[in-house]
A and B are shown apart, each in its own frame.
Chain A
């Protein structure tokens, strides 16, 4: 129950954020909610470590096996603590960042909604519950990126992020449904790897789930939406797009690792996606000049790093991933918030426009310095422990995947270090800034400093988390108990050597940026270079072009064309079914009596005249001939009353037509010959088809028609001598009632039209 209360508390704070007045204490007050949740999660750690995690479930959609199920195992708590802990700082930070500007409450409310959804993702034990929360994070992310809604760039980035993660979300939904099918349950904790591996659906489930995870966690080639999302206010970037939401994909990989990790495709697919993302993210990062974009690309790289480790899936790699998740969230959160403080204090985020800030902004400098050490991954920081473990995992692996992983880590380690140097350079040299640089308020600094300090503190005293947090988390990912002992100093070994090598190279590279990246930068800026945004735009606008083409082609606006398509559809469907049926048609209709032939000829002649004649009057008269011909047919085949009705109808219709046509202009043109031929052919096809259908119906009478009942009972039970009348007013009186309503409505419509038109005049 407590888990639901924790999530609900966060959601309930949403209206609070909207209603409270914009004061400095609002941020603090709101932050108390996630802080409380954080404390609650801490209290759950021991249960998770003992292997009896708190769980809660309720029926949601039991007919389809969907439950509202939550479970706080080590993995869930690791992420939950990050979400709640960083979230508390973010709320304080957001209040200071907005500094009383309108919309601050809306921003905090949406952040809280996101927080609730994100907690739902990591605590969910039912994959459908997880998916619901997952999509809610996409939607709240959309709202947050488009927060500055007047800016076109923000709107475009929001749509881009929503469509990319939305597409992944749909793949994920399919994947989860397939997975549920294969496993026989939607409960993650009840899924068995054997059952899934034994199902023919396993590969499908894996591919689809990976697509969902990769788009959400910005893996190459879907990574481009994340730098675009930097259009959001900085608190959002710091929270969603570095520490939490983008890790949802990584979380999902970790969560499903016990179920899917042993499948054949897992290792190659996940390791290669992760390694490529790590390399690309790190590589592009050093080409960027905007603080937030540098951070965004290093985030992409870090997400690749985590993905790659989960792809390796060895015990060591999993441990490394769990440590790095926490380490990255701390240093990246600090860096993002500090970047916002720089933007606030100087009016720009472009590194080239800044210099010598360490005197004016000493605290911000401290935060950036702490974060940069984490980014470089060299020093007494938590991320360093994670990176060393990862290197060891790569060394230990020995296979091709391990080798690739190792290469990617060393390569990107250098580039990350270079990026860290770039981030630090604005604080050195002569003072330079567009505005007058000044230090941020306490609210802006508390978050980055605290996170930066934690990054050091946890590295110096890893015992605080190794047994209670990292070990249960790693155990949940590995699917079996894992022993974890974290040490900052492992002595001089190969991993440390590799680390030192790449960091040393990175420092040198960092000082050479931007000269060193001039050429590659130009290459990536080339028009033909297939960058993510270009491909997205191509698809986006291509789809719209296709849509326009399709629609102009389909919906042309001419009734004639619409009728033609409808008729041809009918002809096509009818003939396909007729051919398939392949029944024979009786031939006696080929030898009619002479009077029958005469009537038929009259009807055909009448119809032909109606088509050919240019005078409307003549055409109507000819149609009248058709009608009378039909009446004779009725009379010949035993329905004299119907024939009489038809004659009355026909007479009236012709008279009405004549009256109306008197007022119409002369018919002068019937359009080009080609069109007339085409229309004629269509009409003929319909006529032939109808005729064949009617002929085909002969000889299929089945059972006694109900009409015999009417004949038998009309007089005896309904007391009417005229059977047709009895049918109309008694047996099928409801039909008659309906038809009366139709006629009444039609008459009334005509009356109303005339009346309204007079009224509007």
Chain B
């Protein structure tokens, strides 16, 4: 037990506090945010290595033993997600330099990013179901404030929908926790796993309780038909905020689904997995159709988030070690590709002042590097080899075929084709087509915006070409999720009840 497991929560908190204390010095805000993000990434990477080498890490907060106190637990799923979150946080921080206006900075923009990161990392690490709820609240509040500060009417309208629907999810979550505690008498997730697993006669009662978690986390993850808040809000956020949200927020929902449906609610898998299968398929299809219907870069990208959530939850529904590891692989790939697409959209907006495809054109000739970065990320998203999305899709398709879910494999591939369609739509309209306005006056884009764009495009390539290296930790994560005894033993000790 070392402090390392708690650092991804402590560091962003410290950074946020430092930023807020020095709020009267706007020039210090960005450096503090950057330092904090770098430190977080270093800590997360260290935690990942530690978890990889030494197994699941557990810290009992306040020294109170599990299952009575709160534990933070880092298994491979948590460690990978924390690391990716830290990387996205760092990229968004760098991207924000010179992009975010002075008003937002003096309103604590960088500090709020770290509050959000604290919530995200806390959610990934928490081994306590009520504590998870608390981190959801932290995330929700930080993201809401990030969405609306410095905003005008559209941001407020979007913020209202965002917060109202998410609060609905929170109410469901909290009710679920209440019912679960009422029945099982514990909040520690490993302990819950044990107790729910022992409830033979009441196994199906726990399925009823599980529905509340399905709705709450499903809403957070933006699955069909609970995703409304996402397309209603993301497109109004400033580019770095939208990229951060797109990369991380829904993934916390997916993470939570993965966690509770592999650890706690495994007593009635025939039913829950069938349900998840249908929800996932509907999510994939509905999201990609939404993307096909839109002509605004950011809206297209927002709907694609939804569509791809379906692939990840499908990994949970298929529930083999390959599929579970594949869900994580898909998630990491998607965070890299999708975040970068939002970054690129932001650059496009700054160059040309619009996200609308009809206003755009000629970007490939004018900005070949931007075009290359978009091309790589977009085709990666569409699953074109040898980019990251290809192996993500390959793993999922193979998992579906191995479990004889041929229809699922068909849906995945069909949705892949429609994804390709809408990515190509952006490419031909914004990048190839001649600019509709003729000669264009362009805004300036600083070097700070290019660094994360190029870096993430390279990551998308690296994840495809060096897939094996990326897969190994995720394979282990898949095995840990598939066989929960390791997690339970790590938290409750070998002599678990």
Contacts and interface: CB of A to CB of B under 8 A. Distances in A.
Given A693-B179, A749-B145, A702 B232 contact: no
Chain A interface size range:
35 or more
A733 B61 contact: yes
B215 A562 contact: no
Contacts of A574: 208, 211-212
Contacts of A171: 413
A673 interface: no
Contacts of A696: 205, 208
Contact of B401 (A159, A177, A543): A177
Contacts of A725: none
B397 interface: yes
Given A159-B424, A733-B61, A167 B394 contact: no
B232 A760 contact: no
In this complex, the member of B68, B169, B471 whose beta carbon has the largest number of chain A beta carbons within 10 angstroms is B68
A166 B161 CA distance: 38
Contacts of B118: 741
A178 B401 contact: yes
A516 interface: no
Given A166-B420, A174-B401, A177-B398, A566 B165 contact: yes
Contact of B228 (A565, A709, A755): A565
Interface in B393-439: 393-395, 397-398, 401-402, 406, 409-410, 413-414, 416-418, 420-421, 424, 428, 432-434
A578 B289 contact: no
Contact of B165 (A59, A562, A730): A562
Contact of A748 (B108, B294, B402, B475): B108
A706 B475 contact: no
A422 B137 CA distance: 75
B150 A756 contact: yes
B457 interface: no
Given A563-B164, A731-B64, A170 B413 contact: yes
A149 B186 contact: no
B101 to A, nearest CB: 9
A150 interface: yes
A580 B131 CA distance: 30
Contact of B214 (A155, A163, A573, A760): A573
B62 A569 contact: no
B138 A742 contact: yes
Interface of chain A, helix or strand or loop or mixed? helix
B454 interface: no
Contact of A734 (B70, B186, B212, B219): B70
Contacts of A697: 179, 182-183, 209
Contacts of B442: none
Contact of B417 (A167, A552, A694): A167
A146 B425 CA distance: 13
Interface stretch (B33-41, B42-50, B196-204): B196-204
A177 B208 CA distance: 37
A177 B394 CA distance: 8
A146 B432 contact: yes
Interface in A196-219: 204
A136 B376 CA distance: 12
Contact of B186 (A163, A566, A705, A753): A705
Nearest to A135: B385
Interface in A519-554: 543-544, 546-548, 550-552, 554
A759 B184 contact: no
B315 interface: no
A733 B232 contact: no
Interface string B167-186: 01100100100010111111
A735 B418 CA distance: 43
B359 interface: no
Interface in A65-94: none
Interface string A571-593: 00110111011110000000000
Nearest to B470: A61
A489 interface: no
A645 interface: no
A360 interface: no
B149 interface: yes
Interface of A: 59-64, 128, 131-132, 135-136, 139, 142, 146, 149-150, 152, 155, 158-159, 162-163, 166-167, 170-171, 173-174, 177-178, 181, 204, 543-544, 546-548, 550-552, 554-555, 557, 559, 562-563, 565-567, 569-570, 573-574, 576-578, 580-583, 690, 693-694, 696-697, 700-707, 709-710, 713, 730-735, 737-739, 741-742, 745-746, 748-749, 752-753, 755-756, 759-760
16 contacts: A142-B424, A167-B417, A173-B397, A543-B418, A547-B291, A550-B289, A557-B232, A562-B228, A574-B212, A581-B205, A693-B212, A700-B205, A709-B68, A738-B131, A753-B107, A756-B103
Given A181-B402, A734-B62, A759-B106, 20 more contacts: A64-B394, A132-B385, A135-B384, A136-B385, A170-B417, A547-B292, A554-B290, A555-B231, A569-B226, A573-B275, A577-B271, A580-B204, A697-B209, A700-B202, A705-B185, A733-B61, A738-B134, A745-B112, A745-B115, A752-B107
